[in-house]
Amino acid sequence: MVRAAENLEGHFRNYEAQSDRFRQSSEATAGAQARELVAYANFIYDRIKRIDEEWTAQLGGSGGAPPDADADAVWELYAKWCGKAEADLRRANELDAKGITIQGIDRLRQAYYEARDLLSVVPEQVRRAARSAQEGHTRPLGEIRDELRRELHS
């Protein structure tokens, strides 16, 4: 898994260079560059997601806990991609608002928000929760449901 993440490094370097050119581009060339950049950002996100899904499927088959290095590597891939994609999406949205058609921008938005959701839980939180569950420190689902209902009605 860590090896798959390392294999993406070349793509990340290319994406970062393309992203930097896009941010510095003139209004006249920005549309064409945005289309290329959005397509590349979507490609990289798809690769990250595929690595994540394959890794998860392997873990599901073994029933074991993920190695810390692997979990951290997957999280870092999403974080690295999301950091660049945020600025690129902001600029692409500006162009889109001006009427410049950018194929794939809706998919990039969806991928960006999906990645942000994944990044809202860091691997250490997952490890801590797993340890707590193994130690028997869990809460019944009914208790959680009742607490949520009380919060909704207060």
Sign of torsion over alpha carbons 18, 24, 26, 31? positive
Burial of residue 31 (CB within 10 Å: 0-12, 13-18, 19+) is middle
Q: Say what angle helices 9-24 and 27-62 make with each other, to 10 degrees.
A: 150
pLDDT, residue 141, reads: 79
pLDDT digits (tens, 9 = 90+) for 13-48: 999 999 988 888 887 888 899 999 999 999 999 999
Number of H helices, E strands in the chain: 7, 0
Whole-model pTM: value is: 0.79
Report how far Cα 151 is from the mean position of its chain's Cα atoms. Answer: 30
What average pLDDT does range 57-86 have in this prediction? 83
What average pLDDT does range 113-121 have in this prediction? 94
- Please state, in angstroms and rounded to a whole number, the distance separating the CA atoms of residues 37 and 19: 7
